[in-house]
Chains A and B, each alone.
Chain A
């Protein structure tokens, strides 16, 4: 536990001091990394712990962004103060839509969530009030001043740390145990008293809220929002690939996956000088290789090799305190 708190404090210190040392370009990249971690972590909570594989999570990214842009322009208020809306609006829409969406199971849910995201994309694209396909500017962007990159970096860092800490606490709670029970077996979970429907609705709404926040934080420093970027399916592609590569159903997986993703992206784009989407090809190839050779992702391999147990939410049996928890592969 002390190790966890120390690493957390260290991370907070690094995030807090980074803007004093880095230039705007580096801060922008750092913010992007933090935002990427957040959306991947939220997708992982939903898929890896809740058993709900969404292929339409870009919807919440865009809705979070548009919520803040619309409200900030309308009220003439600093967009960062309106960030709570980027969590609230997606969460509420998610809660309203779950009765419909949860009629679909597994692969059908995945496709259904994707269709839903396309519906939002098309609705925004067709809306003249929102600037249609060209998008709309953030008129209040000037309120952020010259230190905008530092501000947004700090917000993204705070969000990333909050997501990590809250995920850990929730997954260690009885609710988290219920969530993982539902993931492993719905009928059996109901048979030990878990309210399957409420449990899943809640985690879906929380996941949507986190992605919405990340979307707004990412889009604000652009001073402009476009449906093609805000609702881009690439966001979900990144979420799935990063989580699959890093290790689905582990809290460390999205951290490792995000680092690998940016190493590949910067390596292919800057290092090899290959422009455009070549880095996505490399990412996809790595994801396929991971699925074939290490279906649980890279973190579980590192964890078992190095005997790390950094953010594991496993509860060791307290009955015999001398015995350390060990990880065993389930029988396939």
Chain B
């Protein structure tokens, strides 16, 4: 893979549901080895942008190019084969299958592996994501942290070039977040990562860049400190804080 070709290149992405715009001429670029944090107020369109990139939602316009291949017209499962792996905000385990089978399914259908190649890879992913001790547990019976880990494990098992992580830190304790940071830092070696997260210190620790979305528009893009101190981010978040103050 050439260093010059970005793993993900999104240009002019547009999507609206009636009056609600979830993506407005969005441009985004992620390179190999890069971790990009995405922040923005609730309803800013962050998860919808993930769905547009993953192909679960059809875009009104624009292009999604994955590792040099235009995947704009491909359905979600084909985009997986081109290297997109997604961890959902609300964990979506295959509840009737064990943790091992969840990951094995991703290794078969996503990475296209069979037989012992598939099971070896699934075992390796389980070790890497710290889920080996839960391998034979039904996924529906997992606790929240393990459910979140399983989301990442499934995405990794598809041999994704790009990992899209959606608020996988939400609801975790500080200790658990510290584990998560370590794990994602390790994943950066093999994957380009785009990570939606509200936990600022986690992003500061791992993300190379921060993108700020507001009403489907990219309003800032740059290093963590620069973005956090920018006027536009202060305005968006101050506004939220004031509202929260009124509500309380």
Chain A residues in the interface with B (C-beta under 8 A): 174, 177-178, 180-181, 183-185, 187-196, 249, 314-320, 323, 325-331
Contacts and interface: CB of A to CB of B under 8 A. Distances in A.
Contact of A192 (B56, B135, B158): B158
Given A314-B98, A319-B126, A188 B88 contact: yes
Contact of A195 (B77, B88, B132, B157): B77
Majority SS at the chain B contact face: helix
Interface in B79-94: 80-81, 85-86, 88, 92-94
A193 B158 contact: yes
A315 B101 contact: yes
B112 to A, nearest CB: 8
A186 to B, nearest CB: 9
Given A178-B109, A187-B92, A325-B98, 11 more contacts: A174-B105, A177-B105, A178-B105, A188-B93, A189-B94, A191-B86, A193-B111, A315-B104, A316-B100, A317-B98, A319-B123
Nearest to A188: B92
Interface of B: 54, 56, 75-77, 80-81, 85-86, 88, 92-98, 100-102, 104-106, 108-112, 114, 118-119, 123, 126-127, 132, 135-141, 154-155, 157-158
Contacts of B110: 192-193
B94 A193 contact: no
A181 B109 CA distance: 10
A331 B76 contact: no
Majority SS at the chain A contact face: loop
A331 B141 contact: yes
A184 B95 contact: yes
B154 A192 contact: yes
A192 B88 contact: no
Contacts of A316: 100, 136
A331 B96 contact: no
Contacts, number: 129
Nearest to B123: A319
A178 B88 contact: no
B92 A178 contact: no
Given A177-B97, A185-B94, A329-B141, A192 B132 contact: no
A202 B112 CA distance: 19
A99 to B, nearest CB: 15
B106 A315 contact: no
A323 B80 contact: no
A325 B140 contact: no
Given A174-B109, A178-B108, A187-B56, A319 B135 contact: yes
Nearest to B76: A190
B80 to A, nearest CB: 4
B97 A192 contact: no
A323 B136 contact: yes
Contacts of B56: 187, 190-191
B114 A315 contact: no
Contacts of B112: 193
